[in-house]
Amino acid sequence: MIPPNAKKVFTGAIFDVYQWEQQMYDGSVQTFERLSRPDTAEIVTVLGDKIVIQKQEQPDKPEPFLCLPGGRIEHGENALAGAKRELLEETGLASDDWVLIGERRLASKIEWVDYVYVARHCKKIAEQSLDAGERIELIELSFDEFLDTVDRDELRMEPTLRTDLVRAKYDEGSREKMRKLLFG
């Protein structure tokens, strides 16, 4: 957590840097530092009996990559509103059936929460509305194909969700629990 006495020493497009003086156990003082960035959302997107993932290209990445729909939550936006907006922009899909399945702090030196949602019973309501730095191809996978893709470590996603999905691939009880979570 960034303490109240921390000073913002850099404001970036995504990351802000904070520093503060921290007393050590021996009485000496050292400068501590943390980053802050907007929270993000990842969405396991269910369309009929398929799970929608993305093949995405970004100008700063050397190769296309597979990921779940999602992105940054805008200032003043709550996590669910941000997830709904990102899903609509990146896929043209919307849902009235959302389940928050995780809130993860992914790095100890960065103030940042990644919210993980399941959006069930999605419907196509618009065309994609991509940022200038996004190229996104939508891919629909069966439940088994989705688990296989995760197990092969081909899909970027939050680590705890990855663990739960790999467990679902190999353990029948976990598989049925995951199927119920995703498809209702």
Q: Which residues in the chain are classed under CATH 3.90.79.10?
A: 40-141
pLDDT of residue 83: 99
pLDDT reported for residue 106: 77
Q: Rounded mean pLDDT of 77-91?
A: 98
Out of 22-26, 76-80, 106-110, 119-123, least confident range: 106-110
- The residues near 163 (Cβ < 8 Å, ≥ 6 apart) are none
- The whole-angstrom separation of Cα 28 and Cα 179 is 54
**With 80 as the cut, is the pLDDT of residue 71 above it?**
yes
169 pLDDT band, cuts 50/70/90, is: very high
- Give the architecture (CATH level 2) of 40-141: Alpha-Beta Complex (3.90)
Q: Look at residue 86 in the predicted model and tell me its pLDDT.
A: 98
| Residue 91's pLDDT band (cuts 50, 70, 90) | very high
Mean pLDDT of the chain: 97
Of 121, 147, 104, the closest CA to residue 49 belongs to: 121
Whether the Cβ atoms of residue 3 and residue 20 lie closer than 8 Å to each other: yes
**Mean pLDDT across the stretch 142-153?**
98
Rounded percentage of the chain residues whose pLDDT exceeds 70 = 100
Q: Who has greater pLDDT, 133 or 20? A: 20
- Tens digit of pLDDT for each residue in 129-141? 999 999 999 999 9
Taking phi over 0 as left and psi of -120 to 50 as alpha, with beta for the rest, 128 belongs to beta
Structure tokens at 20: 């503060």
pLDDT at position 19 over 80: yes
Predicted confidence at residue 134, as pLDDT, reads 92
Contact 117, 98 (CB under 8 A): yes
Distance separating alpha carbons of residues 4 and 23, to the nearest angstrom:
15
